[in-house]
Amino acid sequence: MSKADILLKAEELVKFSMKGNDASHDAAHAFRVRDLALFLAREEGFSASPHSMLIVELAALLHDIADYKYIRDPSEEKTVEKFLVDEGVDENTKTSVLSIIKGMGFKEEIGGLRESSQCPEFGVVQDADRLDAIGAIGIARCFTFGGSRNIALHDPQIKPRSDLSKEKYMNKDEQTSVNHFHEKLLKLKKLMKTKAGERRAERRHKFMEEFVEEFYQEWDGRA
């Protein structure tokens, strides 16, 4: 099967698998991450290798299909692996794609930076996903997700957690959407793996900082 056919089928799988998700983690998110990851990959010099570009595109497209926040059945955890096998993707590409997807979540780095993957394409895919979590779209996604789970916008009595563990991060109880900026989103700029990602993160991060300050001023009646 040709590369174009595999990617077309991957897009179809994304649309089918994510159609029930809220707009913070829908197919449009996966397609944005794919497009941005390809831009970052070109800036980082991966375009000379068609194999690397295929790994980047497949991992970016498929990265959220078995997101723990939306998984409905344990069998869904094998959806991506089954797809890659069924489509005849070679073992090296399959291993790289699965490795990227497994290691790219923020929860995997709580407690300090670490090498989540030996795959050289990992950084551009993770950076693309994190860039979609910050800036204007990141703000929209944060409140879309919060609204879908009936999470409060803000509660001055609930402080951002400074002692986050992986388990605490995955537990969204008693949290607010604004606290998510402090617990995760405003930390992502420093976690970028590529120079291309760092450049884009600067503008998006600044936009979020200004938004959060404006939010607090309006909440308190100061603006």
Q: Which domain holds residue 169?
A: 3-219
Please say whether the beta carbons of 177 and 155 come within 8 A.
no
Please say whether the beta carbons of 26 and 18 come within 8 A.
yes
71 band by pLDDT with thresholds 50, 70 and 90: confident
Q: What is the CATH number of the domain that holds 175?
A: 1.10.3210.50
Average the pLDDT over 194-208 and give the result: 98
- Please state, in angstroms and as integers, the Cα–Cα distance from residue 169 to each residue in 1, 71, 175, following that order: 41, 17, 10
Q: Which pLDDT tens digit goes with each residue over 85-139?
A: 999 999 999 999 999 999 988 877 775 555 544 688 999 999 999 999 999 999 9
Please give the Cα distance from 62 to 1 (Å, whole number): 18
Residue percentage of the chain with pLDDT more than 70 = 92
Q: Which pLDDT tens digit goes with each residue over 143-177?
A: 999 999 999 999 999 999 887 766 666 666 678 99
Average the pLDDT over 196-219 and give the result: 98
- Report if pTM > 0.85: yes
- Number of structural domains in the chain: 1
Neighbours of 1 (CB within 10 A): 11
Nearest alpha carbon to residue 119 among 142, 141, 137, 103: 103
What was the pLDDT predicted at 173? Answer: 64
Please give the Cα distance from 128 to 30 (Å, whole number): 10
What was the pLDDT predicted at 113? Answer: 52
- Please state, in angstroms and as integers, the Cα–Cα distance from residue 56 to each residue in 2, 4, 95, 116, 153, following that order: 16, 14, 12, 16, 35
What was the pLDDT predicted at 67? Answer: 86
